[in-house]
Copies of this chain bind each other. A is one copy, B any other.
């Protein structure tokens, strides 16, 4: 009977445990986890803080009981401190600082990522928060409830920053969003980033682009935030969301190699360089299917898939991770912004061309039609689809339209061949050539004229 030990009780760890147990009912996967919140949807934290999800318990993908019934053993509030790879033992410390030793036949590391902490003076002041794990959100929630702040500065215009801007506007705060890049949401091209900025402004968010925060100082009961280009504002609360980096300290202590991106190096079987140790999720390098090389793309969807592969292989299967396309979507107020695959500057080894179209989500004559802005990136030489970006009203099926491109990309289709796909149509929900095909045709026409 395989002793399967998993470090980390979030997406990768839980998926691994469930899959291992599904394939081998004799295994009782044990999960060591630092907090008390197994299998929580941390992507849902902004919606808890907005008030849209009143009870944080609802953020659990599964309850502790569900996991127990699935045959998974949880060691909550246990922090793994060392891996002895030679003897296959992990040292853990419980909440009473008691050290324990847990043996394993197979170990899966799913320690996730940790928030980047920029070197800004005052970053540790009370009233300055980060947001990644459940406990982070409880701290913010406590602050919101106890001090009833009226204003917030959000540092960072990525996914979490944008979702928190939306959340805190909904909660009635005056929001200022600061992003050091010239546009917000730098994961998409500037024309779509500008749409996001306009959507923020339409909801009375003050957006400061191209500003680097330099200091946070107490000012009475408030915080004064200053930055480059003379930026200066005062707020009751500061939220810092400037990305994350892989949490690899424990793995490094066991002699596990990191990749170029600073994340744990794994092969497509999710094996590390150390025998019997797998790793998955936000702590590892991710094989990119189009680039055919490793990248760092920490996404919940990928963590689930990689965990599933690691869990299967840990109990004797021989699965491979099919690779990431970096497919992602975010909703900011009424706007959904999605992408898959590569943008021009990411398409190393290709000859990328990106063409933008504006197309209706469904026949314009039917009420409620929304314009979508679609950017297609394809290879000039081969005509191959390399990536796509879409922005438009969130009810315009933006999320699942990007998934059509993702599925096409998975199969290495050309842009032109997207027109061969037999997609559904009814006037209230599409067009005879779907929006994704009209954009593909615009790409082809732009290239041939």
Contacts and interface: CB of A to CB of B under 8 A. Distances in A.
Contacts of A11: 432
B327 A423 contact: yes
A259 to B, nearest CB: 19
Query: How many copies of the polypeptide does the oligomer hold?
Result: 2
A263 to B, nearest CB: 18
Interface in A309-331: 322-331
Contacts of A364: 58
Contact of A434 (B363, B403, B404): B403
Nearest to A395: B395
A86 interface: no
Most chain-B CB neighbours within 10 Å: which of A406, A422, A425? A422
Given A52-B367, A289-B422, A423-B403, A428 B397 contact: no
Given A52-B366, A424-B340, A329 B429 contact: yes
A304 B403 contact: no
A interface bracket (residues with beta carbon within 8 Å of B): 35 or more
A433 interface: yes
Interface in A389-418: 394-395, 397-404, 406-408, 410-411, 417
A301 interface: yes
A336 interface: yes
A167 to B, nearest CB: 11
Given A366-B47, A427-B41, A430-B329, A404 B407 contact: yes
A423 B301 contact: yes
Interface in A1-34: 11, 22
A424 B328 CA distance: 5
A330 B429 CA distance: 8
A119 interface: no
A300 interface: yes
A424 B329 contact: yes
Interface string A236-255: 00000000000000000000
A301 B58 contact: no
A59 interface: yes
15 contacts: A47-B365, A61-B432, A289-B422, A300-B425, A305-B420, A327-B422, A328-B424, A330-B426, A340-B422, A397-B397, A399-B430, A400-B401, A400-B430, A407-B421, A407-B423
Given A58-B365, A327-B423, A395-B395, 6 more contacts: A44-B363, A44-B365, A47-B365, A328-B426, A340-B424, A407-B421
